[in-house]
Amino acid sequence: MSDKILNIALADDDEDDRMLFNEAIDEIAIRTKLSLFNHGQELMDYLTLPNIVLPNLIFLDLNMPIKNGQQCLLEIRSNPRLKDLCVAIYSTSSSEKDIEETFLNGANIYVNKPNNFSKLREVVEKVLQLNWQYHTSNLNKETFLFRI
């Protein structure tokens, strides 16, 4: 077992969703450090600080005030220091337009927010266990939308 800690960030304006996500992470047997952000601008301000440890994976809600997930994704992909970060869109939206747009804008995976806690824990655990190098090198529309 590796001593490596998985650095994860979640940007979501819904306080209940942040709390449940945090609880799910706590119950998973993967060593993680979770940073929570209330909206996209807060996340982007953090990511552009000098000398921070960049997250291994960012979960981005699409519908947030101030700066939404789509805007964050575009900013991340256009920033040379951030462009290779793994980004999981984490949204209640199952709109084809949202899925298509985030795929084209360079997200690594699209996860629909589950409607119960045990499914949430299962989804988060599976996403954290993905072999990201393999997943991103074989990315297509079928592997992009994560279903459980």
- The pLDDT, as a whole number, for residue 144 is 65
- The pLDDT, as a whole number, for residue 1 is 37
Residue 136 has pLDDT above 60, yes or no: no
Residue 75 vs residues 15, 41, 43, 84: alpha-carbon distances, Å: 24, 10, 11, 12
User: pLDDT tens digits, residue range 116-133?
Assistant: 999 999 999 988 887 655
Residue 139 burial (C-beta neighbours within 10 Å; 0-12, 13-18, 19+): middle
Residue 120 vs residues 2, 21, 22, 72, 147: alpha-carbon distances, Å: 24, 7, 11, 23, 12
On whether the pTM is more than 0.85, the answer is yes
User: pLDDT tens digits, residue range 8-39?
Assistant: 999 999 999 999 999 999 999 888 999 999 99
- The pLDDT, as a whole number, for residue 138 is 56
User: pLDDT tens digits, residue range 43-85?
Assistant: 999 999 999 999 999 999 999 999 999 999 999 999 999 999 9
Residue 145 has pLDDT above 70, yes or no: no
DSSP for residue 32: E
- The pLDDT, as a whole number, for residue 2 is 47
Which of 117, 6, 17 has its CA nearest to residue 60? 17
CATH no., domain 6-146? 3.40.50.2300
DSSP for residue 39: S
Domain limits, the chain: 6-146
